[in-house]
Amino acid sequence: MKKQYFLNANIVDPANSVEELGGLIINENGKIEAIGKKVNKNNIPSREKFIDLKEKYIFPGLIDMRVFVGEPGFEYKENFKTLSNAALAGGVTSVVTMPNTSPVIDNVSMVDFLKRRGRDKSKINIYPTATLTKNLEGNNMNEFGLLQKKGIIGFTDGIKTIQNTRVMSRIMKSAYDLNSLIIQHAEDFELAKNGQVNDGIIATKLGLHGIPDYAEKIIVERDLSLLQDYNCRYHISQISSAKSLEVIKRSKDNVNFTTGVSINNLSLNENDIGDFRTFLKLSPPLRTEDDRLSLIKGINQDLIEVIVSDHKPEDEESKRLTFSQAATGASGIETLLSLALELFHNESLKLSKIIQCLTSNPAKILKIDKGSLSIGNDADFCIVDLFKPWIVKKENMISKSKNTCIEDKKLQGKVLNTYIKGVELYKC
Amino acid sequence: MAINNNAIKISQKHLLGIQDLSISDVKLILDEAKKFISLNKSKNKKLDILRGKTQINLFFEPSTRTQSSFELAGKRLGADVMSMNITNSAIKKGETLIDTAMTLNAMHPDIIVVRHQDSGASNLLSQKVNCSVLNAGDGRREHPTQALLDALTIIEKKKKIEGLRIAICGDILHSRVARSNIFLLNMLGAEVNIVAPTNLMPKDIEKFGVKTFSNMKEGVKDCDIVMMLRLQNERMSSSFLSSNREYYEYYGLTPDKLEKAKKDAIIMHPGPMNRGIEIDTKLADDINKSVIKEQVELGVAVRMACLKIFCEK
């Protein structure tokens, strides 16, 4: 590989508190050699070719902490290859995959399979999680130690929550011993039973079973109480309501934990469901506008550290049903950044805060050397036109499943190129 | 009264819910229905307004009165009526609602009447077929023809709706009848009280512009109409309520509770009734107060009106 020079770019690298016009040098091994305002036309060798980015933006490659891939078992929804292409189109260079596959990821041999498939079929960095409990049943804790030795980054039951408090407390103790990362999807099963949408005016109007916001709050509250005794590495996968945020705010001084939020809950609310749009059937559900606004506030107050796409590809057949029968989830990895940039354009969030929640914060939680443009790191990054307008169209989607919840939405800001280890793997 | 064949204009292609209708749509339907009331009492009840038209009744959920009412309405207007009970055929073979819709659409019906256990099913169906769709009840969402026939019954008995105080009592949470009635009665200018135990009260329902009560005597106070809903017994298992006995004590319509309503208050019920659970059996049969039989009778007229209007759309 030849040395590469990118000049005249707006560089945003929250990990190193860099937000300035400058350049980026990538060495022959695909590592970052220099970065920032000191990299300019005057101090690079004159014989070298360089790319003038004309004040386009450079962000570290995004880390998406909540991604469902169909392998194994649901390859018709998404496989490693299609996921990887969709991710690259969205500037995402690292993903944390959920273990809700068929069979589920709950043993060492499955990890070997995943690593092999991930290596052979995808171009992005795959960080697989395994289940918290055997077969997602919520009873018997998994082998956290052995699995993380094999390369598992963290443990979660993905779309399920540990309901049994005793099991949860034991999981925390074990995770404490083994320094394992626990990721909880917070939802009380009985309270959310048969629930389709937020419990409120929309549920009442559409005649759908509601999921009350306290179904989430109760689990958050319970886990944070348990955490006071055994403060293992604990991350709430995503929250959706102001009530949960209040609990988080109260607990921040007592215990260490982190919290995520789906870009869908930050950008949409329950009114967007309209006339039974099944593509907006999500978990956690879209809630009220007040909830959405408090989630944004939560990011600004550093109560929420991570923004995820909650990328959950579902084939058309499982969405072309009545609302209660339709599958839950939306495909969103390729629109994650653009949709998040809407929050910058409408002045809800600062650009560096958005990028922090998509890069350096997840890296810190996962303890990986990604999500930054630090010298010596792999050159995983994306080049973004922050102002380019475009419209989300189903037919232009790269993911194998087209179940986007923002179809026909007008967005501003698009990824132009994505690089991993200094190699350009996507070009708009 | 002469019944003309002139096409009538309605804003919607389908009748999916009261929510979609304008006040003039509602008046159109009710005026049309009034014309059929006397016809239904006469000796020769057959018309040929819908001759040559095909009406398919698609019932995914068991129903006696709504289905027979729609069937009779179609036949009296001269349509070819086909009733399909899907509970035991295609669904068991794994066919989805959309596939069923496509199959039926290929037979070129002029109108489909659908009942389904899922909210929004009629909306989904209406997107996939060429003809008009009439919602005969979808999940907990809407049952528009029931609300229309209730409104017609009230107008027949009280000569108006505007300004009346109407209590809707019982299992509101699971009731599509309640939702449709709230939208319609509100639209027509009634004052609506909702009476239910909090466990059976849908969240934020007061945002629809109704008053909510968990005390029945307070809720029916000075009401012109007391509309009772069927308690869906299967709710008992999920701890919505403790027992039928206790429910009757607090939410069953009994003479002492009815006493709080206006002296000339009438009692309504969409049926089927649980006597001795939500309503005292003598009250249910009291011909001076109960209009439950009239509701059924006017149901046919309302459905004839809907079939006529939407078939011609």
Encode pLDDT of A8-50 as tens digits: 999 999 999 999 999 999 999 999 999 999 998 888 888 888 9
Q: Provide, rounded to the nearest whole percent, the portion of chain A with pLDDT above 70.
A: 100
Give residue B104's identity as a one-letter amino acid code: L
Q: Over 80: is that where the pLDDT of B234 sits?
A: no
pLDDT (average), residues A87-108: 97
Give residue A102's identity as a one-letter amino acid code: S
- How close does chain A come to B200, measured CA to CA in Å? 12
Q: In whole angstroms, give the CA distance from residue B107 to residue B202.
A: 40
H, E, C per residue of B67-117: HHHHHHHHHHCCCEEEEEEHHHCCHHHCCCHHHHHHHHHCCCCCEEEEEEC
Q: Provide, rounded to the nearest whole percent, the portion of chain A with pLDDT above 90.
A: 95
pLDDT (average), residues B252-270: 97
Answer yes or no: do B119 and A208 touch at CB < 8 A: yes
Tell me which of A412 and B235 has the higher pLDDT: A412
Q: In whole angstroms, give the CA distance from residue A30 to residue A59.
A: 16
CB pairs under 8 A between A and B: 63
Answer yes or no: do B203 and A206 touch at CB < 8 A: no
Q: In whole angstroms, give the CA distance from residue B127 to residue A274.
A: 14
Answer yes or no: do B120 and A210 touch at CB < 8 A: no
Largest CA distance in chain B: 56
Answer yes or no: do A207 and B208 touch at CB < 8 A: no
Which pair of structure tokens corresponds to residue A265?
């809950």
The confidence band for B94, taking pLDDT boundaries of 50, 70 and 90, is low
Q: Over 50: is that where the pLDDT of B2 sits?
A: no
Q: Which residues contact B71 (CB under 8 A, 6 or more apart)?
A: B57, B81, B83
Q: In whole angstroms, give the CA distance from residue A381 to residue A56.
A: 13
Residue of A200, A317, A324 lying closest to B204 (CB–CB): A200
A8: three-class secondary structure by DSSP: strand
Q: In whole angstroms, give the CA distance from residue A285 to residue B161.
A: 39
A44 to chain B, any CB pair closer than 8 A? The answer is no
Q: Pick the residue from chain A with its C-alpha nearest to B124.
A: A322
| Residue among A193, A197, A206, A315 with most chain B CBs within 10 A, to mutate | A206
Q: Pick the residue from chain A with its C-alpha nearest to B183.
A: A205
Token pair 């208050």 is at which residue? Answer: B265
Answer yes or no: do A208 and B121 touch at CB < 8 A: no
CA atoms within 13 A on the CB side of B107: 13
Residue of B118, B119, B203 lying closest to A200 (CB–CB): B203
Tell me which of A49 and A247 has the higher pLDDT: A247
Q: Pick the residue from chain A with its C-alpha nearest to B121.
A: A322
Q: Where are the alpha helices (DSSP H) in A68-164?
A: 80-89, 108-121, 144-149
Name every chain A residue with its beta carbon within 8 A of the beta carbon of B168. Answer: none
How distant is the alpha carbon of residue A230 from its chain centre? 26
The confidence band for B8, taking pLDDT boundaries of 50, 70 and 90, is low
Residue closest to B32 by CA, chosen among B54, B51, B49, B17:
B49
Q: In whole angstroms, give the CA distance from residue A181 to residue A154.
A: 5
Residue of B139, B207, B208 lying closest to A207 (CB–CB): B139
Question: A323, B119 in Cβ contact below 8 A?
Answer: yes
B307: three-class secondary structure by DSSP: helix
The confidence band for A141, taking pLDDT boundaries of 50, 70 and 90, is very high
Give residue A221's identity as a one-letter amino acid code: E
Encode pLDDT of B36-84 as tens digits: 999 999 999 999 999 999 999 999 988 889 999 999 999 999 999 999 8
Q: In whole angstroms, give the CA distance from residue A141 to residue A135.
A: 10
Encode pLDDT of B271-284 as tens digits: 899 999 999 999 99
pLDDT (average), residues A116-124: 92
Question: B145, B302 in Cβ contact below 8 A?
Answer: yes
Number of other CB atoms surrounding residue B159 within 10 Å: 7
- How close does chain B come to A249, measured CA to CA in Å? 27
A113 to chain B, any CB pair closer than 8 A? The answer is no
Tell me which of B25 and A43 has the higher pLDDT: B25
A371 to chain B, any CB pair closer than 8 A? The answer is no
Residue of B119, B179, B202 lying closest to A324 (CB–CB): B119
Number of other CB atoms surrounding residue B71 within 10 Å: 19
Q: Which of residues 177-216 of A touch B (CB under 8 A)?
A: 199-201, 203-208, 210, 212
Answer yes or no: do A208 and B142 touch at CB < 8 A: no
Name every chain B residue with its beta carbon within 8 A of the beta carbon of A316. Answer: none
Tell me which long-range contacts A107-110 makes (C-beta under 8 A, separation of at least 24). Answer: A107/A143, A107/A147, A108/A143, A108/A146, A108/A147, A108/A150, A110/A72
Answer yes or no: do B119 and A276 touch at CB < 8 A: yes
Residue closest to B147 by CA, chosen among B254, B289, B21:
B21
Burial class of B263 by CB neighbour count within 10 A (0 to 12, 13 to 18, 19+): exposed
- Positive or negative: CA dihedral A92, A96, A102, A107: positive
Question: A299, A361 in Cβ contact below 8 A?
Answer: no
Residue closest to B229 by CA, chosen among B296, B180, B262, B278:
B278
**Model ipTM value:** 0.91
Name every chain A residue with its beta carbon within 8 A of the beta carbon of B19. Answer: 205
Answer yes or no: do A275 and B203 touch at CB < 8 A: no
pLDDT (average), residues A391-397: 96
Token pair 């001076």 is at which residue? Answer: B288
Residue closest to A371 by CA, chosen among A51, A32, A86, A22:
A32
Q: In whole angstroms, give the CA distance from residue A246 to residue A129.
A: 28
Residue closest to A289 by CA, chosen among A307, A270, A304:
A270
Q: In whole angstroms, give the CA distance from residue A222 to residue A218.
A: 6
Taking all residues of chain A, what is their mean pLDDT, rounded to a whole number? 96
Which pair of structure tokens corresponds to residue A70?
């169909």
Question: B180, B164 in Cβ contact below 8 A?
Answer: no
Question: A329, A312 in Cβ contact below 8 A?
Answer: yes
Q: Is position A315 annotated as part of the catalytic site? A: no
Answer yes or no: do B119 and A201 touch at CB < 8 A: no
Q: Over 80: is that where the pLDDT of A389 sits?
A: yes
Q: Pick the residue from chain B with its C-alpha nearest to A198.
A: B203
pLDDT value at position B229? 96
Tell me which long-range contacts B1-9 makes (C-beta under 8 A, separation of at least 24). Answer: B1/B35, B1/B38, B1/B39, B3/B35, B3/B36, B3/B39, B3/B47, B3/B49, B5/B49, B7/B312, B8/B32, B8/B308, B8/B309, B8/B312
Q: Would you list which residues of chain B are within 8 Å, Cβ to Cβ, of chain A? A: 19, 96-98, 116, 118-121, 123-124, 138-142, 176, 179, 202-205, 207-208
Encode pLDDT of A215-233 as tens digits: 999 999 999 999 999 999 9
Which pair of structure tokens corresponds to residue B265?
């208050």
pLDDT (average), residues B298-305: 97
Q: Over 70: is that where the pLDDT of A143 sits?
A: yes
Encode pLDDT of A290-307 as tens digits: 999 999 999 999 999 999
Q: In whole angstroms, give the CA distance from residue B169 to residue B251.
A: 8
Question: A421, A296 in Cβ contact below 8 A?
Answer: no
Q: Pick the residue from chain A with its C-alpha nearest to B137.
A: A207
- How close does chain B come to A270, measured CA to CA in Å? 14
Q: Over 50: is that where the pLDDT of B1 sits?
A: no
The confidence band for B93, taking pLDDT boundaries of 50, 70 and 90, is low
pLDDT (average), residues A191-196: 95
Question: B222, B258 in Cβ contact below 8 A?
Answer: no
Q: Which of A157, A213, A223, A310 is catalytic?
A: A310
Token pair 């009438």 is at which residue? Answer: B266
Q: In whole angstroms, give the CA distance from residue A275 to residue B238.
A: 29
Question: B224, B165 in Cβ contact below 8 A?
Answer: yes
Q: Which of residues 296-325 of A touch B (CB under 8 A)?
A: 317, 320-325
Q: Which residues contact B263 (CB under 8 A, 6 or more apart)?
A: none
pLDDT value at position A270? 97
What are the helix and strand counts (H, E) for chain B? Answer: 11, 9
Name every chain A residue with its beta carbon within 8 A of the beta carbon of B198. Answer: none
The confidence band for A279, taking pLDDT boundaries of 50, 70 and 90, is very high
Q: Pick the residue from chain B with its C-alpha nearest to A201.
A: B204
Which pair of structure tokens corresponds to residue A77?
């929804």
Which pair of structure tokens corresponds to residue B72?
């009779």
DSSP bridge partners of B142 = B138
Answer yes or no: do A199 and B121 touch at CB < 8 A: no
Q: In whole angstroms, give the CA distance from residue A394 to residue A279.
A: 12
pLDDT value at position B91? 59
Residue closest to A384 by CA, chosen among A12, A93, A124:
A12
Answer yes or no: do B207 and A201 touch at CB < 8 A: yes
Q: In what order do the strands lie in the sheet with B165-169?
A: B211-213, B191-195, B165-169, B225-228, B266-268
Q: In whole angstroms, give the CA distance from residue A215 to residue A240.
A: 11
Q: Pick the residue from chain B with its C-alpha nearest to A212.
A: B203
Which pair of structure tokens corresponds to residue B309?
């209007």
- How close does chain A come to B154, measured CA to CA in Å? 24
The confidence band for B233, taking pLDDT boundaries of 50, 70 and 90, is confident
